[in-house]
Amino acid sequence: MIVLHAGFLEDWLLLWGERPVAAEGGESRGLRNTTPRHYVHDAGAAALMEALQGARVAFKPAARHIQELTVWLPTRGEHPVPSSGLIGEEPPEWATETTLAPWSITAYPLLPGEAVELLCLCVGKRTLASGVVVGQDLGYWTTALRFAGSLVARQQYLPGLTREEDGYRARWEPIWDGGDGEALTALARLMPPVARALAGPDLTAPPSISAVSCLRRFVASAVDHLVRSTARRPLRRAPMAGKRQPAFVSVHDAWMYALSSPDGTVYGELEELARLAAQIDEWRRPLAVSATSPVRLCFRLEEPEKQVAPVPQPEGVWFVHYLLQARDDPSLLIPVQQVWKGGRKRITALGGDTARLGEYLLAALGQAAGICPHVEASLKGARPAGHELDTRGAHEFLTEKAMLLEQAGFGVMLPSWWTKKGTKGGLEVRARVKSPDIRASEGLTLETLVQFNWEVALGDAELTKEELETLARLKEPLVRLRGRWVEVNAEEIRAAIALLEKRASGTVRDLVRMTLGGVRPESGLKLSAVKADGWIGQLLERLEGAVAFEEIAIPEGFAGTLRPYQVRGYSWLSFLRRLGLGACLADDMGLGKTVQTLALIQRDWERNGRRPVLLVCPTSVIHNWRKEATRFTPRLPVLVHHGIGRSKGTEFTRAAHGHAVVVSSYALLQRDLAHLQGLAWAGVVVDEAQNIKNPETKQARAARALKADYRVALTGTPVENNVGDLWSIMDFLNPGFLGSRAEFKRTFLVPIQAARDPEAAARLKRLTGPFLLRRLKTDKAIIADLPEKMEMKTFCPLTREQASLYAAVVRDLEGMLESAAGIRRKGAILATLSKLKQVCNHPAHFLGDNSAIPGRSGKLTRLTEMLEEIMEVGDRALVFTQFAEMGKILQGYIQETFGREILFLHGAVPQHQRERLVERFQREDGPPVFVLSLKAGGTGLNLTRANRVFHFDRWWNPAVENQATDRAFRIGQRRNVQVHKFVCAGTLEEKIDEMIARKQELAEKVVGTGEGWLTELSNKEISEIFTLREEAIGGI
C-alpha cells in the first residue's frame, strides 16, 4: 500500500509517497533545525518506482533523479500526523497541540511530460492499481492540469520571454483575462496545503507561497509544456554554430525556435534579448489596457416598441445600447452617457477614476468600430450612447456581429427569445402520421412502413403554402408574427415549400427516432413534433413517457410475487421488447433487477415460441442467476455455459435450443463468440452492463455482435451520469440510435462535458430516456413498496484452487471418520467444518500463509463488485465474518482496492478504541465499509450509518446473524436495510442452508446449540453434506 502525493516546488512537480509501515531503519536520528528527521511513513525510492510501474506509466522514471526533500507536516510533539488511517494512527489529540514541522522524504521530480501522463492516468481515480492510492494533493493537480488544458483548448495564451538567472527562456504564458482569473482564484482555494508543503533546505519556517501563486505557476508550466510539445516539430532545424549553441540569423528566429525546443532557452546576446523582451511587452500592451480595466464594454440589443399587427411585420427601429459593466459585479451596468457626463457617483461604483474609464471606453469603442461599422458611424458624434439598426441590421447583429464582439472580449446582451435555445422561432416541421389499419398492436414491428404528411409552422401557427410564399416575397430575415419575433431564411422557406409538396414514408423505427429527436428530416429543417393517431400515436406517447404504459399480468409460470414497482419495471421491459427495442434497467442494487428480468424471459418464452435467451454476467454471479431462475421460474430450463466441460459447436447449439436460458460469463463471451454468434437468440441480457461500457474492449464488441430479437442491459450504477459510458451500452441496446461513436463524441460528449451545453444534454436525455429505467431505493414510490429489511442470499462460485483445497479437506475427514469415534469424531467434524468455511472464504485464510489475495476467492470477488457499486452510490456497509483472520484480510484487500480507509473491529480491540471506531463510522464523512468479527461486533453497537449488511460467512444461527444485522437496523435508521448472506454454491454452506430451510425442527436445534448438531449426524449424512457438488467449481 502506498499513498502517492505530489507537491509543486520551484516549477517542479515532485512525486512522493506514504506507506503504512516504517521503512527498515527508517527513523534516523537528526537534530532539529539542522537536518530534518526522516518521516517514518516515507515510502522511499524503491516503493515509488514500483508504484509508477504498477500504474503502468509509459515513461521510464529515472531513479537517479530521486532526491531527499523536506516536507512540512502537521506534527504533535514528536509525531507527524499521517494523511489517513490507511497509513497509520493519528497521534492522540490531547497529547499536545498540532504544529508544522519539517520532515525529510524521498521525492521523484517529474518531467513536464511525465507529470502530464501521470496526472491524466489519475483523472477520476482513487487508486492507480491495487494498493496504489491517489492522494488528495495528487488528485488536485489532475484538476489543475485539466484547467490548463481548457486554457490551451480556448487559446488563452501568448508567446513570451522570461528572464531567468542563467539567461532568457521562451515560454507560452497563460493570459488571465476576466473569468479565468476568477476561476484560478476559486480553484486555488481548494488546494490542499500539502500540495505546497515541500521545501528546500531552509528549515527556519514552513513554505509560505500562496495557493494562488503556486497554482498559477503550475498551470503556467503545464500550458507551456502542452503548447510546446505540440509545436515540437520544430518550425525549422536549428543551425548549429560551434559545439553547443545553435546560431540563428535573427533573434526572432531564435525566439521562435526556443518556443518549440524542449527547454526553451533562447540563444543570443543578452543585450539583444533584453530588447526583444521589451518589444514583446510593447506588442502585448493593448491587451494589458483592457485586461486591467475594472469594466468592460457591453452592447445591448433592444427591440423596437411593441406593436401588434395581424400580418408579418418586418419594420421597426432597433437600438444597440452601449453600457459599461463592472468586471467584479456583472450585474452592475451603467449606460455610457454617464461616463461622458462624468457622473461621479455611479462611476465610483464601477471602481475606476473617470479619466481612466473614459480612456478605456474610447479604446474599446475604437476596437469595436473595427468589427462593426455601425459603431464606427456612431463615433462621429462626440458622445455616442449607442446606434440604431433596421431589421436587417438587427439580424446581422444577432447572427454575426454579436459573436465577433463577444470573441473580442466585449459583453453582448441579446433579447431572450434569441438566446434561449429552442425559442428562436423559425420554421418548424411536423410529421403527421396516419396509422395503417392494423387492428391489434400484435402484428406491428418497428419495420412496418407508414405514410406521413409534413406540416410547416412558424411559432404556434401552421402555415399554408401560400403564406410561405408571401414570407418568401418579404425577403426579411426577421419577422414579427403575432407579437413575437421569428427568424426566417429564404432557404428554409424554399425547403419548406418543397417539403409540403411531397408525401413521405418511413418505418416505425424512423418515426421513433424522429420523435425522440435523433434525426432531422433531410431538408435540414427543425422537426418539432411527430403527430400520430391510432396505435402509432399511442406507441410514441408511451415511449416518450407522456402516457403510462399499461401494466401487464405476471406470466403464468412465474413462481413468486412482484412488488408494485417491479410489475411496472417488468411491464416496461415487455413493452420495449414487443417493439424490439433495447432496454437498460438500472435500478439500485437490491431492488430486484433479476426477478423483473426473469419475469420478462418467462413471458416471452410462453408467448413467442420457445427460443433461448443468452444471459451474460460476471463469473461471480452465474450461480446466483441459476439459483434465482430455479426459484422464480422453475419451468424454464437453464443451461450454465461455463467451465472446462462446456459444450461447443453444434453440440452447444443443440443444447442451447433445449433451454430457455443460457447463462455465461463475459470471459466466455469473447472466447466462445464463434459459437454464441451462430444462434438466433430470442434475447440477450447483459448483467452488470458496466462491463461493456468501454466500446473498445473485446467483450463490448462481442456483445454488439450477437443476434437477438431483444436486448436488455442491467446495471446498478448510475450510467446516465457518465455521458462517455452511455454510448457503448446504448449502441448495444439500440444500434445506431446515437449515431457512430465519432458522431456521438462530436454532438454529445464534447458539447456536454466541455462546453456544458444544456441543449445537448437535454437532447441526449430525450433520446436515451425511453430506454433507461432507474429507480432508487430512496424514491418515495419505491420506499412505500419496500420492507424495512430485505434479506437475500448471494450465491458465489469457488475458484479452481478453492475447489481442490476443499476436496482435499473432505478426503482427510473421510479417512478420520472411519477410525475415530466419540469426542475425537466430534472434534474432527467441527474442525473440518471450520476448515471448509475457511476454504470457502479464501485460500489464504485457510492456508494462513500471507499469500496473495486477488483473484482466488469467488466470495471476495463478488463482495468487491458489490462494494464498488455501493460506494459509487454513496451507501455504507457492514461486513461480518466469524473469523478475525478473515476480517484482517478483508480490511487489507478492500483498502488496497478502493484506496479508502476501512475500519475493522475484532475481539482484541480495547474498549475505548471501539468507541472511537464506532464514532468514526457514524460520522458524515466516515469510512464506507466497516468489517466486524461476529463475536466482537455482533452486539451492543449502534451503526445506523450503514444500510447494507454482508454476512461474508455463515453461522447458521439466525438469532446470532439477526443480532448482528440489527447493528444497522436500529432506532435512528431511516433507510431500508439490505442484508446479503454469502453462500458458496454446491458447498456445505449451501447444503446446510437448504437443510435448515427444509426442516423446521432442525432450525430450532440450531438456535439452541449452534453448530454442535452436525456432529450428531451419521457418517453418510456428514459425507453428503460436506462433499462438493459438481457445479460448484466456477473455474474462475
Partner 1 sequence: MRFWDYYRGGFYQPSQPRQVKGGIKAQTRQGAFAKSWWAKRWIAVLESFNIGARLGRGKRYAREGQVVAIEIEKGLITAVVQGSRAEPYRVEIGVRTLSGRDWKRLAEALGKQAIFTARLLAGEMPENIEEAFQSVGLSLFPHRRADLKTECSCPDWSNPCKHIAAVYYLVGEEFDRDPFLMFKLRGMEREQLVALVSGQRSRKGGSGGRVATRAPRVESVEAPASGPELLASEPRAFWGEPRGIDPGGADVRIPAVSAALPRRLGNFPFWRGEEGFLTSLEVIYRQASPIGLRIFLGDSGEE
CB of 873 to partner 1, least distance (A): 14
Site string for partner 1, 220-239 (x = CB under 8 A): ------xx--xx---xx---
CB of 797 to partner 1, least distance (A): 33
Cα–Cα distance for residue pair 129/346, rounded to 1 Å = 59
Is residue 240 a contact point for partner 1 (CB under 8 A)?
no
Is residue 116 a contact point for partner 1 (CB under 8 A)?
yes
44, 840, 865 from 929: Cα distances, Å? 29, 22, 14
Is residue 216 a contact point for partner 1 (CB under 8 A)?
yes
CB of 103 to partner 1, least distance (A): 13
60, 65, 252, 698: which one contacts partner 1 (CB under 8 A)?
A: 252
Judged by CB, which is closer to partner 1: 75, or 633? Answer: 75
Instruction: Decide: helix, strand or coil at residue 311.
Output: coil
Is residue 858 within 8 A of residue 1034, CB to CB? The reply is yes
| H, E, C per residue of 350-391 | CCCCHHHHHHHHHHHHHHHHHHCHHHHHHCCCCCCCEEEECH
Restricting to residues 676-715, name those near partner 1 by CB under 8 A: 696
C-alpha cell of residue 522: 433531410
Is residue 120 a contact point for partner 1 (CB under 8 A)?
yes
370, 658, 827, 972: which one contacts partner 1 (CB under 8 A)?
A: 370
Judged by CB, which is closer to partner 1: 235, or 311? Answer: 235
Is residue 242 a contact point for partner 1 (CB under 8 A)?
no
Is residue 859 within 8 A of residue 952, CB to CB? The reply is yes
C-alpha cell of residue 606: 410462453
35, 747, 753, 1027: which one contacts partner 1 (CB under 8 A)?
A: 753
Instruction: Decide: helix, strand or coil at residue 173.
Output: strand
Q: Counting beta carbons within 10 angstroms of the beta carbon of residue 780, is it exposed (0 to 12), middle (13 to 18) or buried (19 or more)? A: exposed
Cα–Cα distance for residue pair 345/335, rounded to 1 Å = 13
31, 58, 249, 852: which one contacts partner 1 (CB under 8 A)?
A: 249
Q: How many helices (H) and strands (E) does the chain have?
A: 41, 36
238, 750, 816, 884: which one contacts partner 1 (CB under 8 A)?
A: 750
Is residue 742 a contact point for partner 1 (CB under 8 A)?
yes
Of 362-370, 595-603, 776-784, 986-994, the segment contacting partner 1 by CB under 8 A is 362-370
Instruction: Decide: helix, strand or coil at residue 979.
Output: strand
Judged by CB, which is closer to partner 1: 534, or 926? Answer: 926
Is residue 44 a contact point for partner 1 (CB under 8 A)?
no
Restricting to residues 871-900, name those near partner 1 by CB under 8 A: 900
C-alpha cell of residue 698: 473485446
Judged by CB, which is closer to partner 1: 121, or 1017? Answer: 121
Q: Counting beta carbons within 10 angstroms of the beta carbon of residue 884, is it exposed (0 to 12), middle (13 to 18) or buried (19 or more)? A: middle
Looking from the CA of 305 toward its CB, the CA atoms found within 13 Å total: 1
C-alpha cell of residue 52: 509508477
Is residue 270 a contact point for partner 1 (CB under 8 A)?
no
Is residue 385 a contact point for partner 1 (CB under 8 A)?
no
| Centroid of chain to Cα 728 | 14
User: Residue with C-alpha cell 418497428?
Assistant: 446
Is residue 388 a contact point for partner 1 (CB under 8 A)?
no
Judged by CB, which is closer to partner 1: 259, or 934? Answer: 259
How many of the chain's residues bind partner 1 (CB under 8 A)? 131
Is residue 795 a contact point for partner 1 (CB under 8 A)?
no
Is residue 157 a contact point for partner 1 (CB under 8 A)?
yes
Give the DSSP letter of residue 612: -
Judged by CB, which is closer to partner 1: 90, or 1031? Answer: 90
Is residue 365 a contact point for partner 1 (CB under 8 A)?
yes
Of 37-45, 201-209, 978-986, 1017-1025, the segment contacting partner 1 by CB under 8 A is 201-209
C-alpha cell of residue 398: 444577432
Of 389-397, 678-686, 749-757, 956-964, the segment contacting partner 1 by CB under 8 A is 749-757
Is residue 136 a contact point for partner 1 (CB under 8 A)?
yes
| Residue 282 CB partners (closer than 8 Å, separation 6+) | none
Other Cβ atoms less than 10 A from the Cβ of 940: the count is 10
Looking from the CA of 181 toward its CB, the CA atoms found within 13 Å total: 9
Judged by CB, which is closer to partner 1: 215, or 540? Answer: 215
Is residue 36 a contact point for partner 1 (CB under 8 A)?
no
Q: Counting beta carbons within 10 angstroms of the beta carbon of residue 805, is it exposed (0 to 12), middle (13 to 18) or buried (19 or more)? A: buried
Cα–Cα distance for residue pair 512/447, rounded to 1 Å = 11
Give the type of residue at 172: W
Give the type of residue at 315: E
31, 58, 186, 553: which one contacts partner 1 (CB under 8 A)?
A: 186
Judged by CB, which is closer to partner 1: 363, or 554? Answer: 363
Is residue 355 a contact point for partner 1 (CB under 8 A)?
yes
Judged by CB, which is closer to partner 1: 756, or 974? Answer: 756
C-alpha cell of residue 35: 537536518
Is residue 128 a contact point for partner 1 (CB under 8 A)?
no
Restricting to residues 902-931, name those near partner 1 by CB under 8 A: 925
CB of 363 to partner 1, least distance (A): 3
Is residue 13 a contact point for partner 1 (CB under 8 A)?
no
32, 154, 465, 698: which one contacts partner 1 (CB under 8 A)?
A: 154
Is residue 137 a contact point for partner 1 (CB under 8 A)?
yes
CB of 169 to partner 1, least distance (A): 16
Of 70-78, 391-399, 442-450, 684-692, the segment contacting partner 1 by CB under 8 A is 70-78
Judged by CB, which is closer to partner 1: 327, or 611? Answer: 327
Is residue 359 within 8 A of residue 334, CB to CB? The reply is no
Vertex 70 angle, CA 65 and 71, to 5°: 115
Give the type of residue at 96: T
Instruction: Decide: helix, strand or coil at residue 914.
Output: helix
Judged by CB, which is closer to partner 1: 90, or 709? Answer: 90
Give the type of residue at 379: L
Restricting to residues 511-570, name those near partner 1 by CB under 8 A: none
148, 601, 796, 1006: which one contacts partner 1 (CB under 8 A)?
A: 148
Restricting to residues 278-307, name those near partner 1 by CB under 8 A: 279, 281-289, 291-292
Is residue 318 within 8 A of residue 301, CB to CB? The reply is yes
Judged by CB, which is closer to partner 1: 156, or 670? Answer: 156
22, 49, 57, 209: which one contacts partner 1 (CB under 8 A)?
A: 209
Judged by CB, which is closer to partner 1: 168, or 176? Answer: 176
CB of 982 to partner 1, least distance (A): 28
Give the type of residue at 701: R
Is residue 151 a contact point for partner 1 (CB under 8 A)?
yes
Is residue 963 a contact point for partner 1 (CB under 8 A)?
no
Cα–Cα distance for residue pair 599/942, rounded to 1 Å = 39
Cα–Cα distance for residue pair 134/835, rounded to 1 Å = 37
Of 23-31, 68-76, 415-423, 960-968, the segment contacting partner 1 by CB under 8 A is 68-76
Judged by CB, which is closer to partner 1: 298, or 1033? Answer: 298
169, 239, 610, 708, 962 from 249: Cα distances, Å? 18, 9, 83, 70, 85
Give the residue among 834, 851, 839, 831 at the shortest CA–CA distance from 801: 839
C-alpha cell of residue 730: 446504448
Is residue 123 a contact point for partner 1 (CB under 8 A)?
yes
Cα–Cα distance for residue pair 121/128, rounded to 1 Å = 7
Is residue 868 a contact point for partner 1 (CB under 8 A)?
no
